[in-house]
Amino acid sequence: MTIISDEIYEYINYVGDHESIAQFEDLKDRVVIVNGLSKGFAMTGWRIGYTASSIAIAKAMEKLQGQFTSGTCSIAQKAGVAALTTDLKPTQEMAEEFTRRKKRVLELVNEIPGVVCSDPDGAFYIFLI
């Protein structure tokens, strides 16, 4: 069985450090990590994604991908390289700002009579209960 793990919110996590299922040696060869730069590096709309998997799975994905998508523009590619090879301080600052915004939104929503809202552990979405 293959495990597909969507880790797009790796850097937007309010309850601790990111933990990948691929860290477990006995599962590692069965895991396909799906990730991208849009959330963690504030590159929304640039649509640069990536995966990590065994070589066999990666080669199979490459065959499929080459049939129905096109490459992203060179500017987005250069920005992606910069995001992945430079200091994570801007990403961490952005996550801190998201935390402040989340707290404020929750405060405002919870002031509405009869509305109950859960506090998300990650990302920046709220769900009314």
Note the pLDDT tens digit of each residue in 13-48: 888 889 999 999 999 899 999 999 988 898 888 888
3-state secondary structure of 51: strand
Domains in the chain with CATH codes: 3-128 (3.40.640.10)
In terms of Cα–Cα distance, which of 9, 68, 65, 55 is closest to 34?
9
**How many Cβ atoms from other residues are within 10 Å of residue 110's Cβ?**
12
- Amino acid present at 112: I
pLDDT classification of 63: cutoffs 50, 70, 90: confident
In terms of Cα–Cα distance, which of 128, 89, 126 is closest to 14?
126
Q: Does the reported pTM lie above 0.85? A: no
CA atoms within 13 A on the CB side of 119: 11
Note the pLDDT tens digit of each residue in 91-103: 899 889 988 998 9
